[in-house]
Structure 1
Amino acid sequence: MNDLLLTTALIFALSAPTFAAGNHSGGHGESQPAMETTLLVGMPGDPAKVTRTITVTMRETDDGKMLFDPQSLEIARGETVRFNVINDGALEHEFVIDTKMGNAEHKEIMARMDMEHDDPNSVRLDQGMSGEVIWTFSNAGTFEFACLIPGHYEAGMHGPIAVGDQMAQAEVEYATGTIKKIDAKAGKVTIIHGPLTSLDMPAMTMVFRADKATIANMSEGQEIEFVADRVNGKLTVTQLK
């Protein structure tokens, strides 16, 4: 009888599905199969399936706060998003996507030891550097992006990610335009564009800022659909189809 119970328990244990509960379950910097890096917030995205690009800037303020720009994100379930992350501050920062609870647990671990993770849902950048995270948001819900370097979260470096059906498509309005000139060294692009409704601007030709990753996907004469916003007071291309 005991042998039968032991055999049954062993079969059940081997056949039970395994789910990754967090982004550090296998240790930092280790190579993990895609299935093991699946989180509640989603999974690493395929670059060929990116539906839009969002620029996220990290910086400090004169009064001691540390911020992301934008400070919140709205994304449609099923979207694959390329986050162009830029450290525009004077300190090292990171961009981590997870559940709020997952970030809280990870932040507590980081407070106890000096460690730098290398996971597909995060990127850590020195001053003036840029990087990217490509992520597929497969589940609806409210999640969080944050900097988990000790003290940074408490200084304001976190924001909500609202993921819902068709949410992003309904609320993001793309403008159309044709690229006239690119100055990659200066991080500028001249666009002949239609009305920018969100900025209350008529159709005209203007110079926009853009990060290196966005400019790499541009060419002179190219017709584009894009979203522009003011980032640190400068008109910037923040999303590109």
Structure 2
Amino acid sequence: MKNLLLTTAMAFAMITPVYAAGTHEGGHGHEKAEAGHGHAEMAAGMPGKADDVSRTIDVTMRETDDGTMIFEPASFDFEQGETIRFNVTNMGEIEHEFVIDDVAGNAKHKEMMAAMDMEHDDPNSVRLDEGKSGEVIWTFSNAGTFEFACLIPGHYESGMHGPITVSETQASAETVLAQADVEYTKGTIKKVDAEGGKVTINHGPLVNLDMPAMTMVFRADEAMLAKMSEGQEIEFVAEPVKGKLTVTQLK
């Protein structure tokens, strides 16, 4: 059985010649470091912290009698913001790996691995010999459809991949809808008082506040004021904050 599986996988792998060997460390735009630190966020999310894990899922990797290679479960559904611990066990007879990425990212790295015999060493993956176990802790910070896969040459083609669906949380959806309903007002900045935390704007009607066009002084936080300069044409949203008219959004 093991020889049959190796022969099948090698048949796929030989489509592209092997040029070199190495460890694929940081190949997904990450630097290997403590989980949750020092990693750029990927489309599929980012490394999670053990303290933030909301649930743990057991994943097995194995081969079937007909030579197919599979993950169990075959798909996942999460909510945006969830941090998941994947307990991964290789119950097969040959080496396998578990990699999280989007479909395009997996396709790119599958091609790289077909051209070069290398091993992933990234926080979004774990590679295991037969009978071994490991884990991946991952935060799904973005909504969308992603993929988990084994990118060892020939394994993906033998069935080792599945979808990850991350649904937008209700709070995120409500925020998007609220932002879509906001009506921006056009104006010209007359004066910026960074020290006083104020900005003077000659503006059109403030529809959300039922106020006519005029020149007014608004409050603004430091980050907002840093984007402003005298004479600048802007579109903004002003709202009462602690009894003071405050610029809350700017574009």
Tell me which interval the TM-score lies in, with the shorter structure as reference length.
0.5 to 0.7
Task: Give the distance between the partners of 1:63 and 1:37, measured in 2 at CA.
Answer: 40
TM-score between the two structures when normalised by the length of structure 2: 0.54
TM-score between the two structures when normalised by the length of structure 1: 0.56
Distance 1:67 1:50, change over 3 A: same
Name the SS of the counterpart of 2:120 in structure 1.
coil
Tell me which of 42, 45, 50 is aligned to 1:47: 50
Is 1:70 paired with 2:73?
yes
Which residue is 1:171 aligned to?
none
| 1:173-184 pair list within 5 angstroms | none
Shift of 1:165: 2.9
Moved segments of 4+, more than 2 Å? 29-37
- Identity across the alignment (%): 65
Q: Is the 8 A contact 1:50 1:82 kept in 2?
A: yes
Tell me the amino acid that sits aligned with residue 158 of structure 1.
H
Over aligned residues, Cα RMSD in angstroms? 2.0
Task: Give the distance between the partners of 1:103 and 1:154, measured in 2 at CA.
Answer: 12
Shift of 1:117: 1.4
Task: Give the distance between the partners of 1:30 and 1:45, measured in 2 at CA.
Answer: 13
Tell me which of 84, 93, 96 is aligned to 2:96: 93
Shift of 1:34: 3.6
Which residue is 2:62 aligned to?
59
Task: Give the distance between the partners of 2:28 and 2:83, measured in 1 at CA.
Answer: 23
Task: Give the distance between the partners of 1:141 and 1:26, measured in 2 at CA.
Answer: 20
Task: Give the distance between the partners of 1:142 and 1:45, measured in 2 at CA.
Answer: 19
Task: Give the distance between the partners of 1:121 and 1:37, measured in 2 at CA.
Answer: 12
Is 1:158 paired with 2:158?
no
Q: Is the 8 A contact 1:76 1:165 kept in 2?
A: yes
What is the number of residues matched between the two proteins? 144
Task: Give the distance between the partners of 1:141 and 1:62, measured in 2 at CA.
Answer: 34
Unaligned runs of 5+ in 2: 1-25, 171-251
Q: Is the 8 A contact 2:29 2:40 kept in 1?
A: no
Shift of 1:39: 0.4
